[in-house]
Amino acid sequence: MHIRQAEIDDAEELARILNSIIAEGGKTAIDTPLSGPELAEWFITGPHCISCLLADTDEGILGFQALERFHADLPHDMADIATFVTDRARGSGIGRSLSHATAAIAEENGVQRIRAVIQRSNEDAIHYYRSVGFQDDTANMTSSSVALIRPTAPGATLRMTSPSISPSALRDD
């Protein structure tokens, strides 16, 4: 497996992955399939994008993870994360590998905390994020979503208060 930055030429394949996850239902808050150009704007080239890493194998791309500052009300030291892994590759360690690489890129870009906002019904995603060091951010949870945060630096203390984030501004991923 090779972890690398996504490029514009990867957008169509990443859209196929995302759209298959949308079709599964309950795995992402994104409910409308995206075209390759739309996916590129959302996750690769948009002004809010920090990084979009993908896991490339002999079998093709099996997952990707985006780091972005989509919400203007995010504290300056925080970014959102979104992870998408094909159904056949879940549980294989791809998400964990992407997570480690994304945390390093986040730290290099001055991001001290990474936030994941997940639909409360997506127990697999909640378990995954907790398994890679995310902790509940109870102040920013809603009846339909769970907010999880982790520091980017190993051994860093997590500051759980996020006063500038309103729960209504959270986007489930």
pTM: 0.85
Q: What integer is the mean pLDDT of 79-89?
A: 91
pLDDT class of 165 with cuts at 50, 70, 90: very low
Instruction: Give strand pairing partners of 51.
Output: 67
- Comparing CA positions, the residue from 26, 23, 3, 5 lying closest to residue 15 is 23
Average of per-residue pLDDT values in the chain: 86
Condensed to tens digits (0 to 9), the pLDDT of residues 17-66 reads: 999 999 988 788 888 999 999 999 999 999 999 999 999 988 899 999 99
Least confident among 51-55, 91-95, 139-143, 159-163: 159-163
pLDDT class of 131 with cuts at 50, 70, 90: very high
Contact predicate 42/34, CB 8 Å? yes
The domains found in the chain, sorted by start residue, are: 2-169 (3.40.630.30)
What pLDDT is attached to residue 41?
96
Is the model's pLDDT at 173 over the cut of 60?
no
